[in-house]
Amino acid sequence: MVIKNKITLGPMLFNWPEKKKLDFYNMIADEANVDIVYIGEVICQKRFACWGKIYDNIVERLTQAGKEVIISSLALINTEEELRIIKEYISNSELTIEANDVSIINIIGDRKYCIGPYINVYNEEALNFYIGKGISHITFSPELPQDSIKTLASLKTTEYEISVFGRIPLAISARCAHARIYNQKKSNCKYVCEKDLNGLKVSTLDSQPFLTINGLQTMSYTYCNMLGEIDYLQKLGIHRFRIYPHDYDMLKIINIYQNVIEKKLSAQEGWLKLSDHMPDVKFSNGFFHDTSGYKMMQSAIPQITE
């Protein structure tokens, strides 16, 4: 059986203004060549209010456009109030849930769900545990090296997804560094994270860009770029490729990846097009190559032997 390669659009990790967010998803519904769209709030419980008025409209528009919609959960649940909101979130929808915190698995019940990249699955035992729970698929954590990915994908017991574009989630905290940088308290943050559409750059004492702050989340400064690894990943049996929304021309980025996946462009040609589109960006793929995540490794991908 031939399995279709799918481009998935990961959940929006940044706090964009309501109109910009709505316009973006309308564009994705009407013009983007993606199969699956993850929506919902992953980073901060306070941001749920920013989805309230437009959430149903976005789901309806995407569904009518033939996209599969998956609802992503918070990556860190700290309080009973947050758990209550998640329960309400789940009960009011029949869509597949992406679990990003293990605490929600027991409240999902018989609902169809998948494992997101915020739940660590590093070995076969952990993967088989979640498969036994009936997951539909799993998105690998971004820090997994290729040897671990190869081992897990060889089980061929579920579908696998991997992030191929976007700033890399590194950590999440109960405290909001973003609010603190703007001299605000988390309890009255005034949603200052809305000012930084791709996150807020953090530099070292030597003024070298180092990380990115996104509300409660710490992300890479570099952007993951896995164009050169796609052919290898396909040979491993991975057919879902996740692209995260950023404040660039996402249609162009999606089309570049689609053409490389479909072998209408070589990885090198895709690289040049992506670099031309994002000349101010530094790319990385170091985690995959089992080295520092911020690095961009140009070494050849090992061949798959039958």
Nearest to 237 by CA among 149, 136, 120: 149
pLDDT tens digits, one per residue of 238-254? 999 999 999 999 999 99
The Cα 49–Cα 23 span in angstroms is 18
Number of domains in the chain: 1
pLDDT of residue 78: 84
- 249 assigned to some structural domain: yes
Residue 294 lies in a domain: no
Tell me the C-alpha distance between 177 and 43, whole Å: 13
Q: Is residue 216 part of a domain?
A: no
Size of the chain, expressed as the number of residues it contains: 306
How would DSSP label each residue in 273-288? HHHHH-TT--EE-TTT
> Maximum CA pair distance of the chain?
57
What is the rounded CA–CA span in Å between residue 201 and residue 218?
Answer: 10
Domain span holding position 133: 6-168+223-284
User: Has residue 67 been placed in a domain?
Assistant: yes
Q: Domain holding 103: CATH number?
A: 3.20.20.60
Residue 245: CB atoms within 10 A of its CB come to: 25
Backbone angles phi, psi at 251, to 5 degrees: -60, -40
189 domain-assigned: no
Angle (nearest 5°) at CA 50 between 257 and 248: 25
Type of residue at 281:
V
Whether residue 184 lies inside any domain: the answer is: no
Q: Give the β-pairing of 113-115 and 96-99.
A: parallel
pLDDT of residue 299: 58
Decide if 273 contacts 254 (C-beta within 8 A): no
**DSSP-derived secondary structure for 168-236:** EEEEE-SS-HHHHHTT-BTTB-TTGGGG-BTBEEEE-TTS-EEEEEETTEEEEEEEEE-GGGHHHHHHH
8 Å CB contact between 243 and 249:
no
Predicted confidence at residue 306, as pLDDT, reads 44
pLDDT value at position 164? 97
Determine, yes or no, domain membership for 176: no
pLDDT at position 51 is: 83
CB-based contact 212:218 (threshold 8 Å): yes
Q: Is residue 202 part of a domain?
A: no
| Torsion-angle region of 257 (φ positive above 0: left; ψ -120 to 50: alpha; else: beta) | alpha
**Which ranges of the chain have pLDDT less than 70?**
1-2, 299-306
